[in-house]
Amino acid sequence: MNPLAPPGYVLDVNVADVWRYEARHAGRHLLVASPLLAAILLIAGFGLPGAGFARAWLAEAAPPLLAGLAAAAIVAGERAVELHLSLPTPLRRTLGRRLALLGASTAAGALLLGAGLLPDARALSRFAQLCGFGAMLVAAGAWAAAALRSVPGASTVVLAAWLADLLVLDRILIGPAARTAAEFVLAALLAAPASRLLAEGCGLIGGSRE
């Protein structure tokens, strides 16, 4: 056994390399989608003061749906599950990092859309709403993808959760603060079983059923 590493072989991987690796495997197009959509909406005049109800509604409803669909694609799209289950780093941690990057991207898009209302005080409310709605749909997408191992199936669950939030929660709960709090609670409730399924890993073997 040769104790010397061959030329060009890197023994240590720094934190930045790990996150770059996860960003590449999560899909950079998925990670930039939320801020890009937010920028496009603002440039087109959606979500700005005086934009009107329909345009404001679209600016607050479309980005969370995109985040949920991206989460489903990240989890169900992993094709090397067997390999990950044999590595020292748990699959749950690997996919957790990728979903954390998606969460940061979703928050960045929410920040852009919230800033579009400045200096109005509603800017902070919009940011919180987008984060809560996005967190709930990301958790729903991750859970459905881990349970169904199907991008179309998980996407259908995300769409159903999106409609339920808009048609049920928005009607039952009075005020954006109550709705946002409920969305974060639902996100936590969905994240727990998703984490358990990813830790077990058994249901993920066999590749994505697209």
Give the pLDDT confidence of 96-107 residue by residue, as tens digits.
999 999 999 999
Query: Tokens 């179309």 — which residue?
Result: 152
State the pLDDT confidence band at 76, using cuts at 50, 70 and 90: confident
Contact status, residue 67 vs residue 38, Cβ threshold 8 Å: no
Contact status, residue 65 vs residue 158, Cβ threshold 8 Å: yes
Kindly report the number of other CB atoms within 10 A of residue 57's CB atom. 14
pLDDT tens column, 163-202: 999 999 888 988 889 999 999 999 999 999 999 888 765 4
Instruction: Output the CA–CA distances (angstroms, integers) from residue 131 to 96, 163, 208, in the order listed.
Output: 18, 17, 28
Tell me the C-alpha distance between 189 and 2, whole Å: 50
Nearest to 200 by CA among 154, 146, 149: 146
Helices (H), the chain: 15-26, 28-43, 53-76, 81-85, 91-115, 122-148, 151-164, 170-172, 176-200
Q: Which residues of 4-31 are buried (b: 16+ CB within 10 A; e: fewer)?
A: eeeeeeeeeeeeeeeeeebbebbbeebb
Question: What global pTM score does this model have?
Answer: 0.85
State the pLDDT confidence band at 53, using cuts at 50, 70 and 90: confident
Tell me the C-alpha distance between 182 and 176, whole Å: 10
Q: Evaluate if residue 90 carries a pLDDT over 80.
A: no
153-66-28-16 Cα dihedral, nearest 10 degrees: -100
Q: What is the mean pLDDT of residues 34-48?
A: 94
